[in-house]
Structure 1
């Protein structure tokens, strides 16, 4: 589950995870461990471009991955909405150590820039790629509930 939900996405995550637009999607961006800012600083970034312009470095060797099988399911028993997706695998992963995964909403996967990507959640994920396949297990990547 998420370490943080970005301030820009509070109250909107279930909407974005429902993929409301015709050509939208969710993308996971690996962030290098070196230079990774604290959660208190990260949560204030409103788009991926600004996040990457700070001291956070994208781990580009592994690359971004689109999330598949994204669902937003209302859980009336527990009074929340569970956002889930299929696990993500990087084949023969290489490059610098990873400290986090950022899940972003992309309003149009065929166009746009990092300034269009809205960061939804940050997940601590520490790995040192060694050429083997690595899988990030995505199980209810966010659960949104009322603060009653």
Structure 2
């Protein structure tokens, strides 16, 4: 589960996830973005940011390690949204993400799950959904973000 949900996505995460899964629009995707440890703003500051550009406009920076790139998850990577009517919630799942041979340099603090409306969208159009603490010191080995089996987000 997330450490926090961005205010802009409250009430929208399930909708945006479903849009990616159903291809509306066809090149929409979820994007995983790693944030550097140095200069990271507090959760209270970050959760008020409305776009990925906003997140990266303050002292918070994206990781820059060799071997790191944003992970793009398309419809084929996501599961169909099925409400749990017994427990009265919806869990949204993601596959584990692996970055191969990430070199030392920038220590990581968080991984964000964001909604990208289309291929080539600027950071100012990418909506941050959730933030997950992910303190890691890359050392040349693979970095794997394992998502909680119940999902990266629960709408209840």
Asked whether the two chains share a fold, i.e. TM above 0.5, the reply is: yes
Deviations 1:75-128 (A, max 9, x none): 1111111110110001001231000001100000x2221001000000000000
What does residue 154 of structure 2 align with? 143
Q: Which has the higher strand share?
A: 1
Alignment match, 2:91: 82
Cα deviation, residue 11, structure 1:
0.2
Counterpart among 109, 132, 147 of residue 123 in structure 1: 132
Partner of 2:83, secondary structure, is: strand
- Counterpart of 1:58 in structure 2 is 62
Are 1:107 and 1:116, in contact at CA under 8 Å, matched by a contact in 2? Answer: yes
List structure 1 runs of 4+ shifted beyond 2 angstroms: none
Gap runs ≥5 in structure 1: none
TM-score, normalised relative to structure 1: 0.93
Is 1:67 the counterpart of 2:78? The answer is: no
SS in 1 for 2:33: strand
Give aligned pairs, total.
144
The normalised TM-score by structure 2 is 0.88
* Runs of 5+ consecutive residues of structure 2 not aligned to the other structure: none
Aligned alpha-carbon RMSD (Å): 1.1
